[in-house]
Each structure stands twice: as structure tokens, then as C-alpha cells.
């Protein structure tokens, strides 16, 4: 039983946890790959804002459709829900994978890994409490806080935890394997112990030639390994043993040079990324490998970009992992990276349909003119009209300096950009290709 804001006690019951897959036009998953999140639930990276470099990443949390921090309670029995509101599931919501639906009369609520989810009305900015919790709250196993100096930071009451995205908590995998949320793979990927992405061959005969072995490395199993769950061990022609997942032999791709690479995803028709949960992506969006820049997002083969407010920053912005920006910086900017007619003649907002719902890392924002726009990891996305062919990225690494000598509207915009970027030495928008 739980208590509402008004003090009313509620009795909750779970509905069919893990018995069905979510299928809808917006999530369109293969029949054997569940969605990472249901419609209306976001994945949000938690960062600490750094003064002069990429913002430090902590972990990935769950958020509602507006990106607000989600919570669950670890106390058993009756708990106080003062200022806490249940995360409502749609009437036709169906349980799947780690997600279940709790029923209380006519109200349905989402639960993740059997934990009912709530928002907290005292959170003033989306993700504020999650950042505070990462810095000053105890760990999942009551580990000491990262920093003891809370400086009056707002934290949830005792017993409340920030809901993190933890797919490994319910995974049943052998030693030597792991699950990783890999952005370029757009989902939760099976990896080896070093963090390298694994791939499933179509059959045992998919890779038998020397030419194949030049690119693909079998995932060998120890002599005493035995299969369990969806994992099995197969005997190879040369007498060695190899791991298989869902009856498909597992391989590494030699073109993946670092953990998190998934360049083997399109290397051969007979090899598929071992994807266990699939993130939502809007229609037309794909991940493409761009030489010199790694993976980038495209929309119908046209490069996607985001704009961020100027900030104090040392180092390059183009190297892998060198330009990590906190989610809340994109939220504060919203659709204001491009608002004037002159800007919109070059930059076209990635329009979201009227029925679009936030899901995973993708969020729907409303622009000043009332139109809706897709945002990824907090930042609104655009295409550039100067890109005339697939693969072009003429809008990348452009500095759009704000006008400090214009009219009141221009000056107000300059002030707004300076506040968002916390850049005392100047204001403007930096345009970059959108990377997963």
C-alpha cells in the first residue's frame, strides 16, 4: 500500500510483468528485441558540469516525458508519498521485459524492475535532483557520497532512490560477458569482458574461410564452459569451442578498435549486432559512420546537427568523447539555438509529428512558434540546407556569435545565451554534428 499527496492509502497490484513486448508505430521493435523504455519514459545521462572541459558522466537515469528525475522507494510497507506522484502509464500500456504496470483502480503506473516509479514535485529543474544525488547521495549499496560538501543541495527523503537504467540487474549471462548501453548501437548490446561489442552469425557456416577470419574473431568458450539460459557452446571444426547466443555463434569484429564501437553492424549481411534491448529512434533517423568523425546521426541520409551555447572550454570538440555536454544545458537552451528568419533559412528544425511522445534519449520540445521539434539528449536537432548530398556536413564546427550591438531583442538573446553557457567572455551558438 502507498499513500498519495492527500494522505490516501492505495493498494497496488502488478499486471503481467515481463510477459509481452511493447509494439507500437513509434517503437517498431523486432519481435525478439524489446524496447529499452516504453513511450513516455526517457533515458537521461547524468553529468556534473565542469568549468573548462567536457562534463563528467556518472550514469544513465530514467526520466518522464519532460526529462524529470524518476524515483523509487526502498522501504518496505507503508511509505509517505507526500509531493511524490506516480508515473502514469497509458490505458493500453502492456508489461514487457524489465517494465511492468501497476494497477490501482482506473490508474495505471509504470514500474521498472518491480519498483514503482514516481516524480517529485519539489524538483525545480529537470534532472536537478539526479545530479545532486550523484554528487552528494549514497550509492545503491549505501556507498559513501562522492562529495561530503552538500552545500544545501536538495535531496529526496530517506528511502528514496533515483531510478537508474540498470539492464545488468536482471541479466542472466555467463562469466566473461557483459551488457552495455552503447549509443552507436542504439541499445543495450552484449559485449565481452573488455567491453567490445559482439555479433551473432546467421549460422555455423557463416564464417569458415580465411577471408572471413581476417575480419571476424570467434568468441571462444573455455574447455569446461557449459551453456545456460540463452547461451550455448558449439564445437568448431578445428576442435575449439565457441559461445553462441540464441543459437547464433558469437564473434567480435576486428574493425571495432575501442569499446563502444559497432562498425560491424553493416559489414556483412550474415552478421548482426547482438542487441538485447533497442532504443527508440524517430522515423528516418539512422546512425552513419563518417570518416574522421566517427558515428553521426542522419535524417533520410542528411546530416543532423545541434547547437549549444558558448561556454568556457579547453581542448578539441571533434575527437571522440571530447565534447560531452550535460543534458540540462540543452534543456535550458530549448529551441533557441535558431529562432530568426535568417537562421531558419539555413537551419531546418527536425520537426516532430503532433502525436510524437518522448522515448529513450529522444524528447519532444515546443518551439516559440508552437511547432514541435525532436531533441536528443536534451539538445534540439536540425538539418542544414547547405548540405546538398548524403555525407556532407557543411554545418559542422560553426561559431555563430551573438549580436551585442543590436536592438533589445538581440541583446536579450545575447544575455540568454551567455547565461545558458555561463560564458562571461562572449555569447553565441556552436554548431556540431549530432553524435549518438
* Joined grid coordinates for residue 320: 571522440
Same domain, 17 and 158: yes
Range of the domain at 302: 285-433
The per-residue pLDDT for range 99-141, each reduced to its tens digit, is 999 987 778 999 999 999 999 999 999 999 999 999 888 766 6
Same domain, 385 and 317: yes
Low-confidence spans in the chain with pLDDT less than 50: 1-30
The per-residue pLDDT for range 317-368, each reduced to its tens digit, is 766 666 788 999 999 999 999 999 999 999 999 999 999 999 999 999 999 9
Q: Which of 222, 248, 278 delimits the end of a domain?
A: 278
Q: How far is Cα 101 from Cα 338, in angstroms, rounded to an integer?
A: 40
pLDDT at site 147: 66
pLDDT at site 142: 67
Same domain, 128 and 48: yes
Same domain, 105 and 232: no
Q: Which of 165, 196, 229 delimits the end of a domain?
A: 165
Count the neighbouring beta carbons within 10 Å of the beta carbon of residue 138: 13
Same domain, 176 and 161: no
Q: How far is Cα 69 from Cα 224, in angstroms, rounded to an integer?
A: 45
Q: How far is Cα 161 from Cα 42, in angstroms, rounded to an integer?
A: 17
pLDDT at site 5: 31
Residues 6+ positions from 226 with CB-CB distance below 8 Å: 233
Same domain, 207 and 63: no
Same domain, 241 and 158: no
Same domain, 20 and 158: yes
The per-residue pLDDT for range 198-227, each reduced to its tens digit, is 999 988 777 878 888 899 999 999 988 898
Q: CA 332, 375, 361: angle at the middle one, nearest 5?
A: 105
Q: How far is Cα 145 from Cα 210, in angstroms, rounded to an integer?
A: 52
Cα distance between the two ends of the chain: 41
Question: Domain count of the chain?
Answer: 3
Same domain, 109 and 30: yes
Same domain, 307 and 429: yes
Same domain, 228 and 210: yes
pLDDT at site 2: 34
pLDDT at site 148: 64
pTM over 0.85: yes
Q: Which of 126, 142, 165 delimits the end of a domain?
A: 165
Same domain, 93 and 186: no
Amino acid at each position: 500500500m502507498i499513500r498519495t499527496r492527500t494522505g490516501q492509502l492505495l493498494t497496488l497490484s502488478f499486471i503481467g510483468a515481463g510477459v509481452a513486448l511493447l509494439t507500437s508505430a513509434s517503437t517498431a521493435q523486432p519481435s525478439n528485441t524489446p524496447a529499452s523504455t516504453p513511450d513516455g519514459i526517457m533515458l537521461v545521462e547524468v553529468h556534473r558540469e565542469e568549468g573548462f572541459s567536457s562534463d563528467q558522466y556518472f550514469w544513465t537515469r530514467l526520466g518522464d516525458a519532460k526529462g524529470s528525475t524518476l524515483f523509487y522507494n526502498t522501504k518496505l510497507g507503508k511509505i509517505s508519498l507526500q509531493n511524490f506522484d506516480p508515473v502514469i502509464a497509458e490505458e493500453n500500456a502492456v508489461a514487457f521485459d524489465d517494465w511492468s504496470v501497476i494497477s490501482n483502480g482506473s490508474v495505471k503506473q509504470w514500474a521498472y524492475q518491480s519498483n514503482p516509479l514516481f516524480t517529485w514535485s519539489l524538483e525545480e529543474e529537470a534532472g536537478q535532483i539526479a545530479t545532486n544525488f550523484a554528487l552528494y547521495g549514497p550509492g545503491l549499496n549505501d556507498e559513501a557520497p562522492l562529495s561530503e560538501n552538500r552545500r544545501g543541495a536538495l535531496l529526496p527523503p530517506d528511502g528514496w532512490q533515483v531510478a537508474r537504467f540498470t539492464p545488468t540487474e536482471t541479466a542472466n549471462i555467463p562469466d566473461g560477458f557483459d551488457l552495455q548501453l552503447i549509443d552507436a548501437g542504439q541499445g543495450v548490446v552484449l559485449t565481452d569482458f573488455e567491453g567490445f561489442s559482439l555479433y551473432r552469425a546467421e549460422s555455423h557456416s557463416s564464417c569458415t574461410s580465411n577471408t572471413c577470419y581476417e575480419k571476424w574473431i570467434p568468441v571462444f568458450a573455455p574447455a569446461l564452459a557449459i551453456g545456460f539460459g540463452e547461451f550455448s557452446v558449439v564445437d568448431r571444426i578445428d576442435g575449439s569451442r565457441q559461445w553462441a547466443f540464441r543459437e547464433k555463434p558469437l564473434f567480435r569484429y576486428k574493425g571495432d578498435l575501442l569499446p563502444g564501437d559497432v562498425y560491424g553492424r553493416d559489414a556483412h549481411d550474415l552478421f548482426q549486432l547482438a542487441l538485447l534491448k533497442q532504443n527508440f529512434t524517430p522515423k528516418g533517423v539512422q546512425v552513419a559512420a563518417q570518416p574522421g568523425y566517427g558515428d553521426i546521426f542522419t535524417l533520410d541520409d542528411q546530416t543532423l546537427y545541434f547547437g549549444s551555447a558558448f561556454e568556457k572550454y579547453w581542448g578539441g570538440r571533434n575527437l571522440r568523447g571530447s565534447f560531452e555536454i550535460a543534458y540540462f544545458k540543452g534543456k535550458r537552451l530549448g529551441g533557441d539555438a535558431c529562432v530568426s528568419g535568417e537562421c531558419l533559412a539555413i537551419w531546418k528544425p527536425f520537426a516532430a509529428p503532433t502525436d510524437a511522445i518522448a522515448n529513450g534519449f529522444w524528447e519532444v520540445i515546443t518551439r516559440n512558434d508552437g511547432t514541435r521539434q525532436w531533441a536528443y539528449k536534451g539538445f534540439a536537432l536540425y538539418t542544414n540546407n547547405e548540405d546538398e548530398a548524403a555525407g556532407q556536413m557543411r554545418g559542422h564546427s560553426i561559431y555563430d556569435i551573438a549580436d551585442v550591438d543590436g536592438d533589445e531583442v538581440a541583446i536579450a538573446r545575447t544575455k540568454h545565451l551567455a547565461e545558458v553557457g555561463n560564458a562571461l567572455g562572449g555569447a553565441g551558438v556552436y554548431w556540431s554534428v549530432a553524435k549518438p
